[in-house]
Amino acid sequence: MRHPKNEIEDNLPSQDQTLSPLLDEDSGGNASGIVLKKGPWTSAEDEILIEYVKKHGEGNWNAVQKHSGLSRCGKSCRLRWANHLRPNLKKGAFTAEEEHLIIELHAKMGNKWARMAAHLPGRTDNEIKNYWNTRIKRRQRAGLPLYPPEVCLRTWQALQQTQDSGGSTIVDNDHHDLLRANSYDIPDVTFHSLKPQSALSYMPELPDISSCMLKRGLDSSQYCNFMQSALHRQKRFRDSASLFPGPDGSVKTPFHQFEDNSYSQAAQSFGTPFAVESNPTTKNAMSFGSFEGSHSLTNGNSSASQHSKETEKLELPSLQYPETDLTSWDTTIQPAMFESVDPFIQSTPTFVLQATDRQSPCHSGLLEALVYPKPMGPKNHPSDKNSNSCSVTPGDVTDSYNMAASKTEIDDYTEVISPFGHSTSSLFSECTPISATGSSYEDPTLTEAFSGSHVKSEPLDHAWTPDREKAAKSRVNFARPDALLTSDWHDRSSGIVEDTTNVTDAISLLLGDDLAADYEHFPNGISTTHSAWGLDSCSWNNMPAVCHMSDLP
């Protein structure tokens, strides 16, 4: 207890306590006219409650006051017992394992604190909730993504697995509904590849992911700016496509993978009307609040009718799954994270398969969201510009695009800026462990660098050891977008990624061709040089298991 004032009152609540302003006015009183106390509990009250529960057991909380004389409402008693008095409660800070588990669980469940608490023995929903809210604040300030990238990827992979297990790219209605309940209302989009063998119908469930990522990683203007800019680039590129005719006269541009209507559909798939209006001058004309009918920003708890105000609330929901999908995590998250033999490699690399084979823009969207986490929070002040290479604001991005109207011009940029104001190099390092010396994903120095101010960093809770480093090197780091595009892991994925232009196309679609062009500068798409991206450090991937997801009920 942190209320010494009350600790002094070591006995039953005094009269002036019960008459204090903390008195429960509305529940106040009860049938017997006893005024119920509110506010901090005293140790004396605790003892009474403990005694009561010993005698009568848990439950029937409203009877506590009746039987024990405790001037507390049943609700308050239940809460006090559940959060502080019941046995086997674990006190103290969360361990690294617990924190990691919370992150995983939250990625899957969202703000289902009670359900999360069920997976953390000795912890209460309140504790977890407080921890998470603190974490949100911290990471917002630091401009860090809420989830480690690999969590997003695993979630995405699990999602894909769920879809694929249905034998169709079209998600079953139930799942679809569940996802939609937490996503923007984004129409399914069918993309047609020019290549007959890869013609596909892509029904992106990604919106759930992307919307979540958006919700947590991008603010509306940034995202809209980016999408508008990207789509504008695509359109512009298409318009000038004759400049790059292919051998058969077709044009190998990312955009030409899509039919014209797909263009606007693609934009619509992001819940925006701006695809049709590709004029960049309208870039700020919309906000997330204009997503009519969308209720996803509210964590899926609000009806579609509650829209405007609530959608503006800062809500950082999850890559939510129906809990029935826990099984899908068994084969994806748990082994990849916790076991030395990485089943990510053993299993079907769903993520890459879909991302590449289908040249899915939505994959790029996920990748995009993963690698372009928006520096959230109010501390995007000008000083940030000086902190590191994150030197362009979202608004500047569009400008940078305009300035970089040609590939040649782009080549002059030594540091290509992501649509969200990150350099292409920094954006990766922002998402991934950076230093070979063991700096974690939550490296405080990074935190400071990104935020431009000193903030409390996330705990360096993932101790790095040489053994872990070795183990990490033996596997693909899925936290790293580049890892998805490189390594012999590709070869295991049925050679699907042999044509890296496909990947580039997908990325190009999202990033815009100029950024993708920069992307192409890297061997195999993105640098495979471990040191360049800090692949040596992989703390998140080496978290020991608290429990396997397969053990979860």
Q: How far apart are the first and last CA of the chain?
A: 32
Site stretch for DNA (CB under 7 A), options 119-127, 402-410, 438-446, 476-484? 119-127
Query: Exposed/middle/buried for 395, CB within 10 Å: 0-12, 13-18, 19+?
Result: middle
Site stretch for DNA (CB under 7 A), options 136-144, 347-355, 435-443, 498-506? 136-144
Q: Which of 17, 41, 218, 478 binds DNA (CB under 7 A)?
A: 41
8: amino acid identity, one letter: I
**How many chain residues interact with DNA (CB under 7 A)?**
54
Contact residues for 81 (Cβ-Cβ < 8 A; gap 6+): 49, 53, 58
Site stretch for DNA (CB under 7 A), options 75-83, 283-291, 385-393, 443-451? 75-83
Site stretch for DNA (CB under 7 A), options 70-78, 195-203, 272-280, 340-348? 70-78
Residue 333 near residue 104, CB atoms below 8 Å: yes
Task: Name which of 37 and 295 has its Cβ closer to DNA.
Answer: 37
| Residue 141 touching DNA (CB under 7 A) | yes
Residue 70: count of CB within 10 angstroms of its CB? 27
- CA distances 430 to 211, 365, 445, Å, are 20, 17, 11
| Residue 71 touching DNA (CB under 7 A) | no
* Beta carbon of residue 488, minimum distance to DNA (angstroms, whole number): 41
| Residue 475 touching DNA (CB under 7 A) | no
Site stretch for DNA (CB under 7 A), options 82-90, 99-107, 415-423, 490-498? 82-90
Q: Map the footprint of DNA across residues 435-464, applying CB under 7 A.
A: 454-456
Residue 549 near residue 101, CB atoms below 8 Å: no
Q: Map the footprint of DNA across residues 314-343, applying CB under 7 A.
A: 315
Q: Which of 11, 14, 130, 261 binds DNA (CB under 7 A)?
A: 130
Residue 326 near residue 264, CB atoms below 8 Å: no
Site stretch for DNA (CB under 7 A), options 80-88, 201-209, 461-469, 544-552? 80-88
| Residue 5 touching DNA (CB under 7 A) | yes
| Residue 308 touching DNA (CB under 7 A) | no
Residue 281 near residue 221, CB atoms below 8 Å: no
Range 265-268 contact pairs with CB under 8 angstroms and sequence separation of 24 or more: 265/187, 265/189, 265/190, 266/189, 266/191, 266/231, 266/361, 267/227, 267/231, 268/186, 268/187, 268/189
- CA distances 252 to 227, 243, 246, 266, Å, are 21, 10, 6, 18
Residue 224: count of CB within 10 angstroms of its CB? 24
Contact residues for 4 (Cβ-Cβ < 8 A; gap 6+): none
| Residue 90 touching DNA (CB under 7 A) | no
| Residue 301 touching DNA (CB under 7 A) | yes
Q: Which of 29, 39, 289, 343 binds DNA (CB under 7 A)?
A: 39
Dist. CA 464–CA 386, nearest whole Å: 30
* Beta carbon of residue 116, minimum distance to DNA (angstroms, whole number): 7
Q: Which of 12, 18, 29, 40 binds DNA (CB under 7 A)?
A: 40
Give the interface with DNA as residue ranges (CB under 7 A). Answer: 1-5, 22, 24-27, 37-41, 58-62, 72, 74-76, 78-80, 82-84, 93, 111-115, 125-127, 129-131, 133-134, 137-138, 141, 299, 301, 313, 315, 454-456
